[in-house]
Amino acid sequence: MTSLTLLEYSANAFFLSSVFLAARNNRHTWTLGIVGCVLFGVLFYQVQLYADATLMVFYIGTSVIGWQQWQRGGSAAEIQRTPWLQLELFSLAALATLVGYGYILHLNTDAYAPFADSAILAFSVLAQLLLMKRRIETWWFWLVVNTIAVPLYASRGLNLTAIVYVGFWLNACYGLWRWHRELRDECLSISEPV
């Protein structure tokens, strides 16, 4: 087994565990995610996906913050919706980041698929920030990210990672369903007379 293959297997194992726990609204998602991010950062750099490598640095920092935030709160009571205006502004910022960073990579590096790579970066940042705040819309953005990531990673020969991201796509569907259920149940328990 080559070192790149071993690195890919290890990164996916940690990241898969982390994403699985996120859909279950479990705070341990953050600690496993940090290890997976370090491994993926090295892997993505080696296959010239520089925006993805940069994204892993961002994930490490936000994972520490997310872990601290989730330590302080309960579980389902923390899940919320994002106001539409705020969501629109965040989406526009993500689109601007996609175009700007993609253009920078296109002009200044040997990056493979700089705009698709930057789309993963931009929408992952938005999804991660929403996840840190336990906003239900996080799962819609993870669906977008995973839809772009699967063919990109497959095109770079990261077949295991592409398959795992299909699993992440399914997990995002599950997370969306589960968080909706938890939010609904919380709203019902609050509205019931004591």
| 139-167 pLDDT, tens digit each | 999 999 999 999 999 999 889 889 989 99
User: CA 30: distance to chain centroid?
Assistant: 11
In this prediction, residue 75 carries a pLDDT of: 46
Give the confidence band of 193 by pLDDT, cuts at 50, 70, 90: low
pLDDT tens readout for residues 13-36: 998 899 889 888 888 899 999 999
Instruction: Name the band, by pLDDT with cuts 50, 70 and 90, for residue 190.
Output: low
Residue with tokens 């539409």: 84
The C-alpha angle 62, 74, 63, rounded to 5 degrees, equals: 10
Tell me the three state secondary structure of residue 180: helix
In this prediction, residue 2 carries a pLDDT of 66
CA distances (Å), 116 to each of 33, 53, 149, 173, in order? 23, 14, 8, 22
CA dist 154 and 128 (Å) reads 23
- Exposure class string for 83-115: b at 16+ Cβ within 10 A, else e: eeeebeebbeebeebbeebbeebeeeeebebbb
pLDDT at 68 over 90: no
- How far is the first Cα of the chain from the last one, in angstroms, to the nearest whole number? 61
Across the range 68-74, mean pLDDT stands at 75
pLDDT in tens, 94-129: 999 999 999 999 999 998 999 999 999 999 999 999
The mean pLDDT value of the chain amounts to 89
| Residue extents of the structural domains in the chain | 3-191
